[in-house]
Amino acid sequence: MKFSKRPQEDNQRLAERIFECLGHQIADACTDTAIPCSFVAGQISVENSSLDPQRTRFESGVFESLRNVRDGRAANFGNVTQDDIEDCDDRALVNLATSWGYCQIMGYHTINTLHCTIADLRNPAKHLSINTAMLQAVAGVNHRPNYFENRAYEFIYRIWNTGRSNGKTYDPYYCANALGVMEIYQNM
Give backbone dihedrals phi and psi of 123, rounded to 5 degrees, phi first. Answer: -85, 110
Q: What angle do CA 131, 175, 117 make, to 5 degrees?
A: 20
pLDDT band, residue 187 (cuts 50/70/90): very high
Mean per-residue pLDDT over the chain, rounded: 95
31-43 burial, b at 16+ Cβ within 10 Å, e below that, comes to eebbbbbbbbbbb
pLDDT at 2: 82
Q: What is the pLDDT of residues 159-169, one digit of tens each?
A: 999 989 999 99
How confident is the model over 131-157, as a mean pLDDT? 89
Domain definitions of the chain by residue range = 8-52+109-185
Q: What is the DSSP annotation of the chain?
A: ----PPPHHHHHHHHHHHHHHHHHHHHHHHTTSS--HHHHHHHHHHH-TT--TT-EEE-HHHHHHHHHHHTTSSSEETTEEHHHHTT--HHHHHHHTEEETTTTEETTHHHHTS---HHHHH-HHHHHHHHHHHHHHHHSTTSSS-TTTTT-HHHHHHHHHHSSTTPPPSSTTHHHHHHHHHHHHTT-
Residue range 8-52+109-185 forms a domain whose CATH class is mainly alpha
| pLDDT (mean) for 34-44 | 97
Q: What is the pLDDT of residue 25?
A: 98
Q: pLDDT band at residue 113, thresholds of 50, 70 and 90?
A: confident
pLDDT reported for residue 147: 92
pLDDT at residue number 128: 98
